[in-house]
Amino acid sequence: MALRYILSEFGTSFATRGRGRELREDLEAKVSADAVVIDFAGVTNVSYSFADEFVGKLAADGVDLTVDNMSAPVERSVRRAMTRRAGAPVGC
Amino acid sequence: MMSRVSTTITLTASSGGGDGYRRDLPLEPELTSPITVDAGALTGCHPMFLVRLRLFVDWHLAEGHEVVVAPPADPAVAQHLADMRFAVGLPEAVAAGLPDARADASVLGIHRLVGDADAEAVAALAVDVLHRQVGPIAGWGDALHMAVSELCDNALHHGKNRLGAYIAADRVTEPRREFRLVVADLGIGIPEHIRARHPEWQDDTAAISRVLMRGVTGTDDPRRGNGFAETIDYAVEQQLVQARSGVELDIRAAGGRVGVMLAGGVTTIDETRTTTPRRGTWISYTVVTA
């Protein structure tokens, strides 16, 4: 069963690479499942650098990742980061 | 009998402009304390000037100097300085002559950032302030969040220095309607940072221009270096949606200066060089609204 990581438990706006690293490390410490779903419901903004550090690096590390409930501006950053970092499409 | 020596810096009516570096507020430990900055003649106050003045005060306080800012004689300018939170966090004696700031949720004012939590908070706050000032124009808040996030993140981490980074923003309606945001730091500056990986880029202006391209980074990770490009991309997209709006990005560091103007669906890049190198990195991001 996939781990569902609900981002709104940590805030609604994410700006920095440092914050992305912090959340990625938190998520990695919790992962025992084969797959992870990151739920962006309620998140209004993420910067490109945050998305790159958080989701982009997870995708690059080969984590079986699904991103869910993204608003259009959030999806914009997340998709770009994942594409550039992993070079592969990701489920949603 | 010993005479007490001091320094007085008298600002002129035009001192409050948007240049990020001027010799009239020197960061030199040799200045004799106490230092008085006489702002009596000021007739206006660009957020870049506000950052420069606050940075001057913080820098000299950190050097152990006494600093006093004599307020602008024009009550409206003095009130603006106060409302922009100039005195927040300063010892009372530094700006004792300023009026009390008015509580106004639509003013971002000046903020000093020392860590990621500050940048996270101010990025969200900037979007809220923009919406309060000019209304929730579709997309502009998102583009601004991107800009504030990337600029502050860079300033804090690549411009690392003992004072951290500064951000300030205001809104003007004349001669045109603008939301003016600036981010500055006293770090090594963009050209020096980028030369850590690209020592061949010795020209400061050319080095600044390069960081606007994708994948140009001073870090060890070749997949980084997209923050500026993302900021500009997002602004371009919004400018195309909001036809009667535009963005101007102005980056000054060391001996280089690059301006990027987005208007009427056209992107114009202006590169200039200066004979007076500036310390740190000084960036303004201006949203022009119809």
Backbone angles phi and psi of B262, in degrees to 5: -115, 115
Per-residue confidence band for B271, with pLDDT thresholds at 50, 70 and 90: very high
Helix (H, G, I), strand (E, B) or coil at B60: helix
pLDDT of B175 reads 85
Per-residue confidence band for B138, with pLDDT thresholds at 50, 70 and 90: low
Per-residue confidence band for B234, with pLDDT thresholds at 50, 70 and 90: confident
* A and B: number of Cβ contacts within 8 A: 77
A18 touches chain B (CB under 8 A): yes
pLDDT of B289 reads 79
- What's the helix, strand, coil split of chain B in %, to 5? 30, 25, 45
Q: Choosing among A14, A43, A47, A53, which should be mutated to test the B contact, i.e. which has the most B CBs within 10 A?
A: A47
In whole angstroms, give the CA distance from residue B254 to residue B194. 12
pLDDT of B272 reads 92
Tell if the CB–CB gap between A48 and B145 is shorter than 8 Å.
no
Q: Which of A7, A86, A85, A88 is nearest to A49 (CA)?
A: A85
Average pLDDT over residues A78-82: 92
Contact B224, B203 (CB under 8 A): no
Using the predicted structure, report yes or no on whether residue B96 has a pLDDT greater than 90: yes
Give the Cβ contact number of residue B64 at 10 Å: 8
The rounded Cα B279 to chain-centroid distance in angstroms is: 13
- The token duo for B52 is 């420069």
* Chain A residue closest in CA terms to B158: A17
List, in order, residues 6 or more apart from B68 with CB less than 8 Å away.
B34, B35, B36, B37, B93, B94, B95, B96
| Better pLDDT: B241 or A74 | A74
Using the predicted structure, report yes or no on whether residue A19 has a pLDDT greater than 90: yes
Strands B266-288, B178-185: pairing is antiparallel
- By CB atoms closer than 10 A (0-12, 13-18, 19+), residue A52 is buried
Tell if the CB–CB gap between B150 and A49 is shorter than 8 Å.
yes
Distance from CA of B230 to the nearest CA of A (A): 7
B153 touches chain A (CB under 8 A): yes
In whole angstroms, give the CA distance from residue B35 to residue B42. 18
Using the predicted structure, report yes or no on whether residue A88 has a pLDDT greater than 50: no
In chain B, residues with a C-beta closer than 8 Å to the C-beta of A75 are: none
Average pLDDT over residues B129-135: 83
- By CB atoms closer than 10 A (0-12, 13-18, 19+), residue B247 is buried
Tell if the CB–CB gap between B142 and A45 is shorter than 8 Å.
yes
Note whether ipTM > 0.85 here. yes
Average pLDDT over residues A64-83: 93
pLDDT of B69 reads 97
Using the predicted structure, report yes or no on whether residue B10 has a pLDDT greater than 80: yes
pLDDT of B243 reads 64
In whole angstroms, give the CA distance from residue B22 to residue B13. 14
Average pLDDT over residues B115-127: 94
Average pLDDT over residues B97-123: 92
Could you say which of A15, A45, A73 has the minimum Cβ distance to residue B119? A15
Give the 3-state DSSP-derived string for B176-243, with helices as H, strands as E and coil as C. CCEEEEEEEECCCCHHHHHCCCCCCCCCHHHHHHHHCCCCCCCCCCCCCCCHHHHHHHHHHHHHHHCC
Helix (H, G, I), strand (E, B) or coil at B24: coil
pLDDT of B212 reads 86
- Whether pTM > 0.80 for this model: the answer is yes
> What mean pLDDT value characterizes chain A?
90
Average pLDDT over residues B182-198: 91
Average pLDDT over residues B241-245: 71
Q: What is the DSSP letter of B136?
A: -
pLDDT of B81 reads 94
Percentage of chain A exceeding pLDDT 70: 93
Burial of B94-114, coded b for 16+ CB within 10 Å and e otherwise, reads bbeebeebeeeeebbbbbbbe
pLDDT of A92 reads 45
**Helices and strands: H and E segment counts in chain B:** 7, 8
pLDDT of B288 reads 86
Q: For residue range A26-38, list pLDDT tens digits in order.
A: 999 987 777 899 9
Q: For residue range B143-173, list pLDDT tens digits in order.
A: 899 999 999 999 998 888 899 999 999 988 8
Tell if the CB–CB gap between B153 and A49 is shorter than 8 Å.
yes
pLDDT of A57 reads 93
List, in order, residues 6 or more apart from A20 with CB less than 8 Å away.
A14, A49, A50, A51, A52, A53, A54, A55
Q: For residue range B11-25, list pLDDT tens digits in order.
A: 998 888 887 666 789
Per-residue confidence band for B246, with pLDDT thresholds at 50, 70 and 90: confident
Give the 3-state DSSP-derived string for chain A, with helices as H, strands as E and coil as C. CCEEEEHHHCCCEECCHHHHHHHHHHHHHHCCCCEEEEECCCCCEECHHHHHHHHHHHHHCCCEEEEECCCHHHHHHHHHHHHHHHCCCCEC
Q: Which of B134, B126, B170 is nearest to A15 (CA)?
A: B126
